[in-house]
Amino acid sequence: MRRTSFAQWPCSVARTMDLLGDWWTPLVLRDAFYGIRRFDEFQQGLGIARNTLADRLRRLVDEGLLEKQPYQTDPVRYDYVLTEKGRDFWGVLVAMARWGDRWLAGEGGPPVTFHHDRCDHDAHAEVVCSHCGEPLTAEDTTMRMGPGYPPKLARHPEALKRFGDGLTGGSI
C-alpha cells in the first residue's frame, strides 16, 4: 500500500511527519544522539531489519540529517554522523520524551533522564515563547498563516476555517 506524501503540504508538522515516515526514523536519530555511528551498531541496538535500516539511513542522508563519512576503504564502510540539520532535531526528541515521561512512564518514573551539564541538574523540555520566555500553551497561542503559506490556498474554505482572515488567526 502506497502512503500519501505530505512533503508539499503547507504545514511543517505534516512535512516533518512525511520525513519521519515511521517509528524507526526517530529511533535511528535518537541512537545517533547516543553516539551510535555505524550501521551494525544501529542494527544491533535497535533490532531493526538490515534492509529497513538501510532505507532509513539512506533517507536521513538524502534529507541532510546525517552524512556518511568513510572510516574504512576496503571494503568501504561509513560512519553516519549528525549534520547541523540532524542536531537541530534534538529539541523534537526531547519534547517527545517529555510527553512520554508525563503520560506513558510507569510508576518507576522516566526510563531516561536528561542531565543539563552546564547547570549540573536533571532537566526536561519546556516549550516557551522565543520572545518573552513564557510557556507556550495551546490556550494562549494562535496559529496564523506564515509567509510560506501558498497564496492560492489562503482563501480556500478549509484555510479560512483554520486561520480566519489569515491575519488574526483561528483558535486552537
Nine cell digits for residue 49: 531489519
Q: How far is CA 95 from CA 12, 21, 25, 35, 127, in A?
A: 16, 18, 16, 19, 8
10 pLDDT tier (thresholds 50, 70, 90)? confident
Distance of CA 84 to the CA centre of its chain: 13
DSSP-assigned beta bridge partners for residue 77: 72
Per-residue model confidence as pLDDT tens digits over 58-107: 999 999 999 999 999 999 999 999 999 999 999 999 999 999 999 999 99
Average pLDDT, the chain: 91
Name the nearest CA neighbour of 14 among 162, 124, 126, 164: 162
130 pLDDT tier (thresholds 50, 70, 90)? very high
Pair 25, 60: CB distance under 8 Å:
yes
Q: Is residue 18 over pLDDT 90?
A: no
CA pair distance 159, 169, nearest whole angstrom: 10
Which pTM was predicted? 0.85
- Give the mean pLDDT of 23-38: 96
Q: What pLDDT, on the 0 to 100 scale, is given for residue 86?
A: 97
Number of neighbours of residue 36 by Cβ within 10 angstroms: 19
- Give the mean pLDDT of 31-54: 97
- Give the mean pLDDT of 128-153: 93
Q: What pLDDT, on the 0 to 100 scale, is given for residue 166?
A: 52
Element (H, E) at 54: helix 50-62
Q: What pLDDT, on the 0 to 100 scale, is given for residue 63?
A: 95
- Give the mean pLDDT of 124-128: 94
